[in-house]
């Protein structure tokens, strides 16, 4: 089975802090994604990566950056967290852009 592991299930941070969300997949997938999930808005794509050191902006990249130094690891970075970044963050990986395999999510609260 494909396993996508997100490092933290729950985080509480203060406004202005730097936040790292880590994601690791074990299926040698080329593609990795970061989404945020908000009630009524569904999933919105923040960034994706189709190869090591490659990244592409999604629909809502503002306030976020990413890092992919190794194929299995894709990190989401909030340089200076703000309260409107309180959300559920979902990492996914895939061989094809059609069938994504998701992690369990990281719920971030910014105070």
Partner 1 sequence: GDSVTQMEGPVTLSEEAFLTINCTYTATGYPSLFWYVQYPGEGLQLLLKATKADDKGSNKGFEATYRKETTSFHLEKGSVQVSDSAVYFCALNHAGNMLTFGGGTRLMVKP
Give residues in contact with partner 1 (CB under 8 A): 4, 33, 37, 39-45, 48, 58, 90, 92, 97-105
Residue closer to partner 1 by CB (options 46, 78) is: 46
Residue closer to partner 1 by CB (options 66, 100) is: 100
Beta bridge partners of 108: 11, 87
CB 38 to partner 1: min, Å: 9
Residue closer to partner 1 by CB (options 28, 99) is: 99
Residue closer to partner 1 by CB (options 17, 86) is: 86
- Closest among 20, 84, 75 to 49, alpha carbons compared: 75
73/8 Cα distance (integer angstroms): 14
CB 80 to partner 1: min, Å: 27
CB 67 to partner 1: min, Å: 20
19/27 Cα distance (integer angstroms): 26
Q: Compute and round to an integer the Cα radius of gyration of the chain.
A: 13
CB atoms inside a 10 Å sphere around CB 94: 21
């Amino acid at each position: 089975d494909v396993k996508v592991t997100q490092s933290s299930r729950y985080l509480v941070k203060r406004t202005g802090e730097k936040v790292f969300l880590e994601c690791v997949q074990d299926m040698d997938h080329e593609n990795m994604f970061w989404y945020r999930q908000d009630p009524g808005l569904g999933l919105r794509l923040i960034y994706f990566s189709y190869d090591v050191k490659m990244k592409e902006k999604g629909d809502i990249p503002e306030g976020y950056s990413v890092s992919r130094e190794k194929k299995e690891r894709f990190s989401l970075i909030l340089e200076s967290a703000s309260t409107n970044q309180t959300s559920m963050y979902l990492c996914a990986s895939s061989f094809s852009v059609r069938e994504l395999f998701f992690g369990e999510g990281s719920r971030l609260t910014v105070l």
